[in-house]
Amino acid sequence: EVQLAESGGGLVKPGGSLRLSCAASGFSFSSHSMNWVRQAPGKGLEWVSSITTSSDYKYYAASVKGRFTISRDNAKNSLYLQMNSLRADDTAVYYCVRDSLAAPGLFEYWGQGTLVTVSS
């Protein structure tokens, strides 16, 4: 069974940093591109970042480029999101999402999410 478990969320002050983690199990982690998608309270879904299988390519939404860094450790079956210079509008539930092998961006499995709150 595919499982994606996010952790690392919490309350942080504006300008602060946070590192999210996603522990993957139940599939060959190194074979799939991975993503972060977020959802602000009461709002819609927003793609944040993607990383290919060997970390060769990393993509970011314009809203987080230069502040967030996606990474992965295939030996540990883990995905990460380093978030710096956090702003109030980064407040959201952050989901770890697995791509299908069929197509990049086909979001096949989602974790339950971790809440990040940016507030003074």
Partner 1 sequence: DIQMTQSPSSLSASVGDRVTITCQASQDINNYLSWFQQKPGKAPKLLIYDASTLETGVPSRFSGSGSGTTFTFTISSLQPEDIATYYCQQYDNLPPFTFGPGTKVDMK
CB neighbours of 72 closer than 8 A, spacing ≥ 6?
29, 34, 51, 55, 78, 79, 80
Tokens linked to 50: 């993607």
Binding positions for partner 1, rule: CB under 8 A: 35, 44-47, 50, 59, 61-62, 95, 100, 102-113
Q: Which CB, 46 or 77, lies closer to partner 1? A: 46
Q: Which CB, 75 or 102, lies closer to partner 1? A: 102
Q: Which CB, 67 or 108, lies closer to partner 1? A: 108
Cα dihedral across residues 60, 64, 69, 75: positive or negative: negative
**Rounded to the nearest whole angstrom, what is the least distance from the CB of residue 86 to partner 1 in the complex?**
20
